[in-house]
A and B are shown apart, each in its own frame.
Chain A
């Protein structure tokens, strides 16, 4: 269980998070949604221990994330950063094997066993055929699947993803979300994913947390969080909520934007 208690953080005096609390159970997928600049990325950096909070705690099964040594933390928490820069010249397999770093000592190199872990991670995200490809030759969808494979190779119980599908087309988006759900469900992992697409978030996440201004505005089931009223308040957009014919989850359809004048033909 991942617990965040009354966490606060400011960048050089400008408060970004003002007391935020939530918990994610094992096997659960929590979606973090909110407008640009609402503090999603900062929250994820605090959860993964890259930043230290000004106040409050992040604990995993009762142990403070900040107290863990970096290698130990990397065995507990794997991260898919937002739009990572991948180094030129390395192959896909090279990169995925870097996910094994937390298990390797200073004098150790990857073993056949690590290669097996890397191979099965590549199978999961269907990038095995790209193993020998150079990272700078990948398409956007391939890059993202490779980065997710690297996080899976880390074999950490907690998986944190920062907008993993923002730049992907429909089929790749569904593919990534399916893999995350499937793998984390299988190994009873804790997952936190920040995303923008409320419809997809509702379909794949067990619970959603909508944040705004560094605070938790509402947390609960997709039906409780994704309502026309909440979206008007937080995003300032007027939408219509439909029911998904198969899953029954909320589907967000814009009705009109805040300033969408009908007679604006010339723009």
Chain B
């Protein structure tokens, strides 16, 4: 422990950019590895060549079967991009909620997003609506609307004349989530005996990934990204209690509304294409906190990077472990995430002792 007051590091004055850059580079390496693996195995070098050949004014002699290009560009790349974007969204929302609720057990599904999305998706799946609207199927739209509605209702219930007590929001969120889950279950048992589509959506996955899914999520992720850059310092101050933060000049109520809105939009967009993938939003911020400290100016962006890398790896495992069949990615995140998390927790305790 440093005693020299002149050399104590603080994130505000010595921002650890190198860790963000290093983390991004590692995610890129993971991405290329994931591109090379699957039913058709390629070398990572071939993957780089295939990608490089698409860059204008770069000339690489083609020494790979042209089917590989289709596999990379139409199948694996969109899938990996979607996994990375969803992982980053969930981790960023999880970190935001953990900071906002000052509760390390908070995750992005805390105040009803997941159950709302699940209900929306089940309504579409059970009713057999498969029509497309503006080029995308109605399923993600219904899930998105369900998620936003659930959080809005919880918010409206919790809000009172003096502001938004977070304990109320938490309770309202739990109640809305329970109600939506009950309705989902009711729909499932009252409908066609084949529940696999609903179940597989609820478990989450990226097997139907397309390029435009990523592009459709990104606009909803943008507010969260801006918030993660701008509001990290305010979120630090809000780790003191609310009255204390007010006395330090933080506009607590408007900050809460902004953070809840941005995190909800990112989560809702992510789950509407990927289904309900647990654990990533809970453990990515924790991993960052345990390894590199609690300052939200660094924790938020780094959690997004870790979330992206973790999700790409989990999806890779999901599609190669039992190849040619696939595991639901939510099962992989739980199987890999739980022991990893326990390891980090133990390591942290040892450092403290």
Tell me the smallest distance from the CB of B344 to a CB of chain A, in Å.
14
Tell me the smallest distance from the CB of B236 to a CB of chain A, in Å.
7
Asked whether, in the complex, the Cβ of B294 is within 8 Å of the Cβ of A101, the reply is no
Chain B, 223-253, CB within 8 A of any chain A CB: 230, 233-234, 236-237, 239-241, 243-244, 246-251
Q: Does A186 contact B (CB under 8 A)?
A: no
Asked whether, in the complex, the Cβ of B248 is within 8 Å of the Cβ of A98, the reply is yes
Residue in chain B with minimal CB distance to A79: B247
Q: Does A115 contact B (CB under 8 A)?
A: yes
Within the assembled complex, what's the spacing in Å between the Cα atoms of A50 and B241? 12
Chain B residues within 8 Å of A111, by CB: 13
Asked whether, in the complex, the Cβ of A93 is within 8 Å of the Cβ of B8, the reply is yes
Interface size of B by Cβ–Cβ distance < 8 Å?
34
Within the assembled complex, what's the spacing in Å between the Cα atoms of A45 and B2? 37
Q: Does A26 contact B (CB under 8 A)?
A: no
Q: Which of B239, B246, B251 contacts A90 (CB 8 A)?
A: B239
Q: Does B10 contact A (CB under 8 A)?
A: yes
Given the known inter-chain contacts A101-B237, A109-B297, please indicate yes or no for A50 contacting B246, CB distance below 8 A.
Answer: yes
Residue in chain A with minimal CB distance to B252: A70
Given the known inter-chain contacts A85-B241, A122-B5, A132-B3, please indicate yes or no for A110 contacting B13, CB distance below 8 A.
Answer: yes
Q: Does A81 contact B (CB under 8 A)?
A: yes
Asked whether, in the complex, the Cβ of B230 is within 8 Å of the Cβ of A101, the reply is no
Asked whether, in the complex, the Cβ of A50 is within 8 Å of the Cβ of B247, the reply is yes
Asked whether, in the complex, the Cβ of B10 is within 8 Å of the Cβ of A91, the reply is yes
Within the assembled complex, what's the spacing in Å between the Cα atoms of A75 and B248? 8
Within the assembled complex, what's the spacing in Å between the Cα atoms of A78 and B10? 23
Task: Tell me the A residues contacting B by CB distance below 8 Å.
Answer: 45, 48-50, 70-75, 77-79, 81, 84-91, 93-94, 97-99, 101-102, 104, 106-107, 109-112, 115, 119, 122, 128-129, 131-133, 154
Given A45-B243, A50-B243, A132-B1, output 12 extra A-B contacts at Cβ < 8 Å: A70-B250, A77-B247, A84-B244, A90-B236, A90-B239, A97-B10, A98-B236, A101-B237, A109-B297, A129-B3, A131-B2, A133-B1
Task: Tell me the B residues contacting A by CB distance below 8 Å.
Answer: 1-6, 8-13, 102, 230, 233-234, 236-237, 239-241, 243-244, 246-251, 289, 293-295, 297
